[in-house]
Amino acid sequence: MDAFVMQNLMNWLVLSSIYALVALGFSLLFGVLNVIHFSHGDVSIVAPFVVLATVQALIATAFPAATPGALVLACAAAIVVVGLIGVLADWLVIRRFRNAPAMMALVATVALGTVIRELIRMIYPQGSNPKPFPNLIETRLMIGDLTVPVFSLFVIAVSVLMMIVLYVVMRHTPLGMRIRAVAEDRNIARLMAISPSRIYAATFFIASAVGAIGGIFYASYAGVVRFDFGIQLGLIGFSAAVIGGLGSMQGAILGSLLIAGIDTLVQATMAEGASYRLVFAFLLVIFVLVLKPSGILGRTVMEKV
Amino acid sequence: MLNTLNRRSLLAALALSASVALVPAGAGAQDKQKIKLGFIGPISGGNAQQGLGAKNGFLLAIDQANADDYPYEVEGVVLDDASDPQTGVGAALKLVNDPEVVAAIGHWNSPVALATIPVFNRAQMPFIVWGAISPKITDQNLPEVTRVTPTLLAENLPLAHWAASDLGAKKIAIVSDTSDYGTGNADAFTQFFTDAGGAIDSTDLLPVGTTDFRAVLTKIKDAGADAIYFGGVITEAGILRKQEEEIGLDIPMIGISGFYDPEFIKLAGDAAEGTMVSYPAAQSNPRLDQMHADYDAHGFAEPESPYTKYAYEATNILLTAIREVGIDDKVALAKAIRGMSHEGVLGTTTFDANGQTEIPVEVEIKVVKGGEWVTLDK
């Protein structure tokens, strides 16, 4: 296969992986809580800012210069911090809409997203401006004509790993069983001595921490990060989850592959396709929703009466 | 009823006595009428460096006028357009609705300028563009609008000739943004480069805010272009250049002044090395040197940007016109600006029939070397 096709395949897989990390969070939260957490993208994009701030703090104190160690430590810190921000978002805002129609939480989280963006802008020094974000792994492999950044392979590997871990956690651990029990029926779960509020907190932590990895990858892949990148990341992650079927983990992955696929395909093959890449991506969303409103792998949503 | 009336008259009496008390104090010091001049530019967002430098040029000119024996007491009103047309129009409306604002200068981004000039036109407020370079801005020939910077045509023409001859590029791939500025650049460069005997391999326009150029770059790599022409601005230029290197596409990136900015080097990092842009050659004249010195002495928080001198000049043109014609007749003021022959930091500025500056542009090529923009040796 020639280098052109290979390079495009590579672009596609990396983009899909990043989108999937965000889409999984949407799906998980919808599956468990029946909540569309529209600020999930904004929560996720906080992560690269935490990384940048932590790296600077580490360089100022513990490490004499920018070392890989500082970056790894900063990423770990960011994942935990953003996980907690997710829990906080639930505790402050979303939990108040547990018994309200799903639409209420959706609108509330749209507003919450704006709050998060403006907070990044205010708190981070010169927060309006784009910040250069380091490439997590600089090394590149040359295979014939093809340049393969090790970072791209790393993104794909981590995403696949996260999917497996999530699957195992959900299917084969006591925590996963409790999460699924709460998703099934909150009241019955309570009768079985499961505290739903703890399960909600755990779910928000997991979804936001996975989203944080997606956010860090997104920033590192672009090479810059800006306070409002969460809008597009969230929109695309959400669309991927919707196409695949909200609530289905496999669906989120499939949806990400499809959205990133059409994005890459349009740019690679159509003349001037780049101008319309998002148009085609969202046309796909409309197309799937018209044919199968619950998404490709989605269960039919029953209106609770 | 009686109660409110009493309260009102009481307030009026108070206000009256206050103003009576204030007037002698004002007259005692210096009886200058206060006027405001407006500035709009990107002072936040990806192009903020350009806007901040220009803002300082604007404030510097005003401070100098106030320190001098200028007939009015001038206050500068600085508003942010964040490179966003909507925000820009909001700022423009704020200026035209303020009766104290006499005239304004503005904009680094052409799409923003194109959105706001109808507002200034309706309000008949004289407006000088200090940074936006789309030809469409002065093509409309709005009587209030003039511009002190050359258009993008003036920068693209020599660049295209240089690319065809000195750089020796035969096939160039164009990447640009979908704004008026981006498409204007793409069209202008396409025409000039094909006229110069080159060929345009592909044209890809991406919306402002794009963060992933890999698919387009992969296509360009496959097609085997000799160089990439980028027609957008700083943030996207930085991202593009970084990803170009990452994807292993080892061809030069060229462009015009739109990303001639230290921020571009910060964003692209080491990948920025070798990027080339055309930029109006630095003239050296005593006035310009004086401005550089004054700028440094003023102690602004931000360093001078390439557009500082344009904003400084635009402000001085406004101040000179206001000194000559006064502030009451806006139409006469606009006319005075157009008819002016202004000796300043840019040389002798005169405007053509469309309000476009007639100062000839001599363009030189700037290249990133050792993490800095330097002038390319001929």
Tell me, yes or no, if A274 comes closer than 8 A to chain B by beta carbon: yes
Q: What confidence tier does B213 reach under pLDDT thresholds 50, 70, 90? A: very high
Please write the tens of the pLDDT for every residue from B128-161. Answer: 999 999 999 999 999 999 999 999 998 999 999 9
**B72, β-bridge pairs:** B33
Residue A166 has pLDDT above 60, yes or no: yes
Sign of CA dihedral A92, A95, A96, A101: positive
CB of A141 within 8 Å of any CB in chain B?
Answer: no
For chain A, positions 226-245, list CB contacts with chain B under 8 A.
Answer: 226, 229, 232
Contacts of A157 (CB under 8 A, 6+ apart): none
**DSSP-derived secondary structure letter, A302:** P
pLDDT tens digit sequence for B113-131: 999 999 999 999 999 999 9
pLDDT digits (tens, 9 = 90+) for B2-30: 455 455 555 555 454 444 444 444 443 45
Please say if the pLDDT value at position B109 is more than 90: yes
Nearest-by-Cβ selection for A8 from B215, B235, B268: B215
| Residue B124 at interface with chain A, using a CB cutoff of 8 Å | no
The per-residue pLDDT of chain A, averaged, comes to 89
Residue-averaged pLDDT of chain B: 89
Helix (H) or strand (E) holding B35: strand B33-41
Nearest by CB: A128 against B48, B205, B263: B48
Predicted confidence at residue B9, as pLDDT, reads 57
Q: What's the whole-number mean pLDDT along residues A114-138?
A: 87
Do residues A25 and A211 touch, judged by C-beta distance below 8 A? yes
Dist CA B210 CA B245 (whole Å): 17
Please judge whether B48 and A229 are an interchain contact, meaning their C-beta atoms are less than 8 angstroms apart.
no
| Nearest C-alpha in A relative to B183 | A275
User: For a pLDDT cut of 90, what percent of chain B falls above it?
Assistant: 71
Residues 199-238 of B with CB under 8 A from A: 202-207, 209-212, 214-216, 218-219, 221-222, 235, 238
Residue boundaries of the structural domains of chain B: 34-151+283-349, 153-281+363-375
Residue A284 structure tokens: 């796909």
Residue A24 pLDDT > 90: yes
CB within 8 Å: A11 and B205: no
Q: What are A218-237's pLDDT values in tens digits?
A: 999 998 898 889 999 999 99
Does position A269 have pLDDT exceeding 80, yes or no?
yes
The class level of CATH for B34-151+283-349 reads alpha beta
Domain boundaries in chain A?
3-291
Mean pLDDT on B205-211: 88
CB of B269 within 8 Å of a chain A CB? The answer is yes
d(CA B203, CA A155): 30
Contact A4 B219 (CB under 8 A): yes
Q: What is the mean pLDDT of residues B31-55?
A: 89
List, in sequence order, the alpha helices (H) in chain B: 2-29, 48-67, 85-96, 110-122, 136-139, 152-165, 180-195, 214-223, 234-246, 262-268, 286-298, 308-325, 330-338
ipTM over 0.90: no
The pLDDT value recorded for residue A300 is: 62
Indicate the fold that domain A3-291 takes in CATH: ABC transporter involved in vitamin B12 uptake, BtuC (1.10.3470)
Whether A125 shows a pLDDT value over 90: the answer reads no
Q: What is the pLDDT of residues A178-210, one digit of tens each?
A: 998 988 888 888 888 888 889 999 999 999 999
Alpha-carbon distance values, A118 to A80, A230, A303 (Å) = 21, 11, 35
Band (pLDDT 50/70/90 cuts) for residue B246 is confident
Strand pairing report for A146-149 and A140-143: antiparallel
Mean pLDDT of B163-191: 93
pLDDT confidence bin for A162, thresholds 50/70/90: very high
Cβ neighbours of A302 (radius 10 Å): 6
Which of A15, A130, A268 is closest, CB to CB, to B46? A130
* Homologous superfamily assigned to B153-281+363-375: Response regulator (3.40.50.2300)
Per-residue pLDDT, A37: 92
User: Is residue A7 within 8 Å of A14, Cβ to Cβ?
Assistant: no
